[in-house]
Structure 1
Amino acid sequence: MRVTTKGQVTIPQHIREKMGITPHAEVDFIEEDGRVILVKRDRDASVPPTFRRVRGVATIRMSTDEIMALTRGDQ
């Protein structure tokens, strides 16, 4: 396996599938006895990523112009 100029490697598909590593999954690298070990980071599945958590929270429908007027104090 070759490391790119950006320091990237491709995790083989069979390993990703076996370990449940999906796009946007978090992984860690652990140094141990002269080796580097890739581990899938455990994260609480009940806590969505930051942007997903707040997406769709606004309940008032306003146009962009109305929002800009509020932020500028043009009321």
Structure 2
Amino acid sequence: MRLNSKGQVTIPAQPRAEHDLRTGDDIEVIEVDNPLRIARTKGAPARGQRLVRRLRGTADSRDIEGMSTDEIMDLLRG
């Protein structure tokens, strides 16, 4: 891996899959006996929780009454 000019690294696909890391997950870099380690942030909301929080309050029954499922999905996706 290579550190870019913004201080970012790309975690390879295999370790991301093995540790179920997804886009938007909160992680932290910690020092343990000198080496740096990447760890999921404890207490961070899960992907589903973030999604529900983002969608909550985007529409109510008056907004979607009479709409098809596809129309509702388009509304939610913004």
TM-score by length of 1: 0.61
Distance in 1 of aligned mates of 2:38 and 2:63 = 45
Among 48, 53, 56, which residue is 2:56 paired with?
A: 53
Unaligned residue ranges in structure 2 (runs of 5+)? 65-78
- What's the offset of the Cα at 1:31? 1.4
Whether 1:34 aligns to 2:34 is yes
- What's the offset of the Cα at 1:59? 4.5
- What's the offset of the Cα at 1:34? 1.2
Cα gap change, 1:53/1:30 in structure 2, threshold over 3 Å: closer, same or farther? farther
User: Residue type of the partner of 2:11?
Assistant: I
Report the identity percentage.
25
* RMSD of aligned Cα (Å): 2.5
Task: Give 1:72's aligned residue.
Answer: none
Structure 1 residue ranges (4+ consecutive) displaced by more than 4 angstroms after TM superposition = 57-61
Larger mean Cα displacement after TM superposition, 38-47 or 12-21:
38-47
1:18-33 alignment to 2 at 5 Å?
A: 18-33=18-33
- What's the offset of the Cα at 1:33? 1.5
Corresponding residue pairs, total: 61
User: Residue type of the partner of 2:10?
Assistant: T
- Normalized per residue, the structure richer in helix is 2
Larger radius of gyration: 1
Cα gap change, 1:57/1:29 in structure 2, threshold over 3 Å: closer, same or farther? farther
Kindly indicate whether the alpha-carbon contact (under 8 Å) linking 1:27 and 1:39 is maintained by their aligned counterparts in 2: yes
